[in-house]
Structure 1
């Protein structure tokens, strides 16, 4: 009842409650992820977002999927007051994240100490992107580079789970590198989700386990897995748009429960950026969350589901 394969620079996992529908469900997931990649990947010269960058300064009509992904990213920026901002493209490149992570991880160092290219590049700001969602018209200013990676992956989980459940009818769980979405009737007791610093190893060695029920969503953002060396230091994929640099080292993982994977991912990413202020920020927004500090301390916010500790 489970399928797994590499996609979007991570591992895509699919679980269904009816084993006879797994083949059809997996084909639908692959189709959805291929479409997101073709629309939103900044590592593909032929992607739609790469073509948008090549027409910076001009009004362009984009396709429905890129328009949806851009709308989701701009909404995330608005709701977090810029803590999550799609205009961090130049910032993540300046930190060395200029190729698929599978290639990046093999490099000893993506930039020499003192190299001028290692200087932090603050995000120009999401408000500079002119977007008419009704007509799908975009004006991307020259010098503004988009990175929709986090919100686009979360959007893919939401879209895929809904699409697959609508087609096969049974319970569905989609996991894209820690961005999870359930749709349809879950197994008895709910979907048992293992949490840990490394989502790929959490099933075998979970820190804790929580239950996810019908149409629920979880997202985990962390600083321990997508790491590399750049400019003589260790950096990771979460950038503070205000500085263009990695946030201060307060949390190693943040997991948030929400109605959609997009909302959960937006909040978990913002929490990493916020640092010590994150628990209060999440509580004010009534978002159940589990935050694990770099020293291993665990903080939860009201509403976080009961946990089953690993043996």
Structure 2
């Protein structure tokens, strides 16, 4: 029997499902602390967030906490795996009058991390919110499973991670705008979609309306889904090359699923 709880934080719906009802309250408290730890270092809306010190370093090495270093490493890993589609640097408009022409536009490849020292080039500004959420989902699920000795499925937004032992029948996870998909123990799922579709002046520029990916961990699931969304028609080959389990829906509502994708009937 699975017990669940939902709440909203960090602009996202957070949900925890556990296989032991008695562990639900403690699981929610653990997850709340993990989220707070992450927010405190990388939420750009918080004036005390550690990420501001990194963004203000502007070409100078800066010492960071272990958590900040881990989150930046995760963001850089996602960038490498997706050829920069999912990157740690915020999209910025550069003012030619303020930025000397000798400074090229920074990319994720220019960022270096040595233990707890981060070096980013002049002009770099980090925004790692989404990869940090995926990283936090993985951390939270593992923590609940380990400390409370139960199975756990943790969701932040549309990124889900599972850990511990599965409930009978596996984890039945909702897929936005569809039914449910079964996740085996230790796998993760992420769904991403285009925003502003109705106002898109170039409707043929993006092939997919929504992409869902199941992978070994939530960071890879999220990064792969974002990369597939950006690759348009090339996403199918890219997904297959990486042997991912995925469902892609185009603007007309037509769907493509990989051979290893199995959806169950929607819950009534």
Q: Give the TM-score taking structure 2 as reference length.
A: 0.89
Alpha-carbon displacement from aligned partner over 1:65-118 (angstroms, at most 9, x marks no partner): 111111011111111111211113427xxxxxxxxxxxxxxxxxxxxxxxxxxx
1:163-174 aligned within 5 A: 163-174=143-154
For 1:128, the equivalent position in structure 2 comes to 110
Please provide the CA RMSD for this pair: 2.3
For 1:162, the equivalent position in structure 2 comes to 142
Contact 1:3 1:14 in 2 (8 A): yes
For 1:182, the equivalent position in structure 2 comes to 162
**After TM superposition, which residue ranges in structure 1, 4 or more long, deviate above 3 angstroms?**
none
Candidates 268, 285, 298, aligned match of 2:225: 268
- 1:83 aligned onto 2:85: yes
Candidates 210, 229, 237, aligned match of 1:253: 210
Higher relative contact order (CA 8 A, sep 6+): 1
Q: Secondary structure at the match of 1:90?
A: coil
Cα distance between partner residues in 2 of 1:209 and 1:90? 38
Contact 1:45 1:51 in 2 (8 A): no
Cα distance between partner residues in 2 of 1:130 and 1:222? 31
Alpha-carbon displacement from aligned partner over 1:213-238 (angstroms, at most 9, x marks no partner): 211111111125xx599xxx569xxx
Cα distance between partner residues in 2 of 1:228 and 1:293? 11
For 2:194, the equivalent position in structure 1 comes to 223
Candidates 55, 65, 68, aligned match of 1:66: 68
Cα distance between partner residues in 1 of 2:83 and 2:187? 25
For 1:278, the equivalent position in structure 2 comes to 235
Q: Secondary structure at the match of 1:193?
A: strand
Q: Give the TM-score taking structure 1 as reference length.
A: 0.77
Alpha-carbon displacement from aligned partner over 1:281-304 (angstroms, at most 9, x marks no partner): 010011110011111010012322
User: Gaps (5+ residues) in structure 2?
Assistant: 94-104
Cα distance between partner residues in 2 of 1:247 and 1:4? 37
Contact 1:8 1:153 in 2 (8 A): no
For 1:14, the equivalent position in structure 2 comes to 16
Cα distance between partner residues in 1 of 2:208 and 2:241? 19
Contact 1:151 1:262 in 2 (8 A): yes
User: Gaps (5+ residues) in structure 1?
Assistant: 92-122, 198-206, 236-245
- 1:308 aligned onto 2:260: no
Alpha-carbon displacement from aligned partner over 1:177-204 (angstroms, at most 9, x marks no partner): 110001111211111112124xxxxxxx
| Number of residue pairs the alignment of both structures matches | 255
